[in-house]
Structure 1
């Protein structure tokens, strides 16, 4: 547990509280680290992925242009934006999500806006599939960890990724930071840590003058990278710490053409905050395809000590919900980190106030393109960030609506987009 506490504190996955005396944050700036858009030599397609039976949006569905590394992810409203080079008009796009039958569609099916994609739920009974031969969940997880070096990309990889970080107070969005990043992803068996450079970034923050506390997430994109349990297993469990957990089989499932074991796990020692969750393991290759896990934070004092790095006197701050998710993608027979998400909810309780405040922090990263790189030593410039970065403080913003260029991003949720428009109007009024 000490290693885990050190991870959250020293690896900058905790939260920092500061007294906030100033009014609004500075208006959106315009200092580009690597230059602006690289030209409009692409077509952009927008639409929505829904459940074919109910019409409900399918969040975090994966869209990939076949035979390429180009991809995107739907937002919580099921909406997507996919940018494809103009010379790829004959391409095919595959849309998939766990628990649904994948669907391949010609690019000609997609429109500039209003594309509707319906996914059918998977209803096949999987209990009798011959691939499911493991009878011991503990042994299966151990084999999965032993194969993490051979099942995943084993070269240094340069990934293009989109990162988004939102902070809510109650139901009101008060901060949004977004960035296109270059991630220098190291092989799973390498002791080297991943590096991140921000290529494009923007932010907008709306702290009321009467607010006395501003909640800030320290770590930025690194928070979503450290969720990669195949690269950083020591922060959840590794081959040497499995005895600290209980593992059991849940009902198996399928994603695309892969049959998956579903393994539930929970930590045995519950004196301090403890982990529990699900592992989705490919039945044939024993590869971890997806993991969803949470930290039980019923022990408020211990949880607060782990996550809260600094706070004003006279206030109690503690997490009430901590959830993580990581998805892996497959290309050329190898798997790689594709999506990471961290959701945290905190209570701020002032000593002499009747009502407390609730903050929700959501950070997510989606890999939208990647290529192998042979660079042994990375030449770092000012675009590289440290794991201690605070996005709302340390990143310059951009107001150019065409700023993202050909980079694939996650469509903003309606509530976030509306909040940002309100923030910008307030900033404009403040300047008048």
Structure 2
């Protein structure tokens, strides 16, 4: 019999919940209008697959951005450096921009790509940037203040309807135990608006091997909101904002380039370390002083305090605490404005059972990439979508895994080899039951 317990974080980045409290969401989730659009456009796109690698050693590049110039279409590579990109036929004469931090961006004519086995190599950027005249800021804290003050004007200033691909995995040690994927619609509010973003499930699928979870029946609560709330420019209250900037110390690291733009690198660290505290790096555009990327962590060395933050209830004979908490956010630019492009939240925690020689370790990872968007100025939020609450839990439903046309013309993150293998093993196990 599996032990059930719930874990959650007071600020909505990562939520866990026990099996007992399952919140169902629709997995077919499409309105008639959207379904008709898919049927009309079903054969009007071309899919390209390949990999992005380091030019010097051939190593795969994880989370490299691929963007179709002159459009809002984009995706990222998986941990194996692989990508799958669906492009409308009328954009075949456009260019594809491939970029990643620390590498020179590359522009490739789409009509030179093949449908399979494209190998795109990126060259490391070795330019010495410390003496470039564009880097004029000398005070890291002041630069961050300007970044926060400009978050209304430098980013999309009107509501935007985004299409995104979301994936979450639960692993016991290195083995996948639960996999969820969804195409979602995000009604994204401007940073200057106090309104929260709305999320609707358009397509979803999930597979879970509860035997692999051993003595625990746990689920990731929050779904797509986990990665949406990583958006530091929209949800400043979760880390730092103008009013509490004095609670952090900031310093410059060596500047770099992202997407061929000069970028300040600012290290930040929370001063008060009596509770779990944040630290990380901010990548700030040198020209606009906009945040273009952030990578940060929550220090959870104080296991008791971290447990109180994340764990709501647990078995009496178990000690549960996080040991690694990481967040990542990327922004892309379009027509002079920046927008939320990619979010990732990762939590690793330990379940230490009394009278057991070995503990159990679990990793929960959720990531989301915006694959398309449209300006919704002077438009109301669509009322025919299946909106979800931040407390949602992806339901157990495997029907989508056997449907080759399940995702239609939506861009997704190419499945990782380990994930694909886990899906096949999980499905074989489920068929035996």
Give TM-score, length-normalised by structure 1.
Answer: 0.92
Q: Which residue of 1 aligns with 2:142?
A: 139
The alpha-carbon distance between structure 1 residues 138 and 423, as it changes in their structure 2 partners (threshold 3 A), is same
Q: 2:388 aligns with which of 385, 388, 413?
A: 385
Q: CA deviation at 1:33?
A: 3.7
Shift of 1:284: 0.9
Check the 8 A contact 2:27/2:204 in 1, yes or no. no
Residue equivalent to 1:150: 153
Q: Please, which runs of 5 or more residues in structure 2 have no aligned partner?
A: 1-7
Whole-Å Cα distance in 2 between the matches of residues 270 and 31 of structure 1?
46
What is the count of residue pairs matched by the alignment? Answer: 416
The answer for the alignment partner of 1:185 in structure 2 is 188
Deviation at 1:376, TM superposition (A): 5.3
Instruction: Look up the match of 1:272.
Output: 275
Alignment root-mean-square deviation, CA = 2.0
Offset of 1:301 from its aligned partner?
1.3
User: Residues 327-358 of structure 1, C-alpha deviation per residue, up to 9 Å, x if partnerless?
Assistant: 00000000000000011101011122221100
1:5-404 to 2 correspondence within 5 Å? 8-9=9-10, 11=12, 13-18=14-19, 31-34=28-31, 35=35, 37-38=38-39, 39-208=42-211, 211-374=214-377, 377-380=380-383, 383-392=386-395, 397-398=399-400, 399-404=402-407
Q: CA deviation at 1:234?
A: 1.0
Q: What SS does the aligned partner of 2:48 have?
A: strand
CA distance in 1, matches of 2:299, 2:166: 26
Shift of 1:110: 1.6
Aligned-pair CA distance for 1:207? 0.8
In 2, distance between residues paired with 1:138 and 1:124? 26
Cα distance, 1:32 vs. partner? Answer: 4.8
Residue deviations 1:358-386, cap 9 Å, x none? 00011000000000113654354571110
- TM-aligned CA distance change 1:209 to 1:396, over 3 Å: closer
Counterparts of 2:351 and 2:27 in 1: how far apart (Å)?
34
Mark the CA change 1:45 to 1:134 in structure 2 (over 3 Å): closer, same or farther: same
Describe the shift of the 1:357–1:381 C-alpha distance in structure 2 as closer, same or farther (beyond 3 A). Answer: farther
User: Equivalents in 2 of 1:30, 1:280: separation in Å?
Assistant: 37
**Matched residue SS, 2:426:** helix
Distance 1:10 1:151, change over 3 A: closer
Partner SS state of residue 270, structure 1: coil
Q: Distance in 2 between matches of 1:122 and 1:138?
A: 27
The 8 Å contact of residues 42 and 86 in structure 1, kept in 2 or not, is answered as: yes
- Provide the rounded CA distance (Å) in 2 between the counterparts of 1:366 and 1:378: 21
Q: Answer with 196-205 or 38-47: which moved more.
A: 38-47
In the aligned structure 2, how far is the partner of 1:185 from the partner of 1:128?
A: 38
Identify the range of structure 1 (83-92 vs 342-351) with the bigger mean alpha-carbon deviation.
83-92
The one-character-per-residue Cα deviations of 1:162-194 (angstroms, maximum 9, x if unpaired) are 000000001110000000000000000100000
1:133-161 residue CA offsets vs partner (Å, 9 max, x unmatched): 11110111001100100000000000000
CA distance in 2, matches of 1:88, 1:11: 38
Alignment match, 1:24? none
C-alpha distance in structure 2 between counterparts of 1:198 and 1:30, whole Å: 7
- Deviation for aligned residue 1:238: 0.1
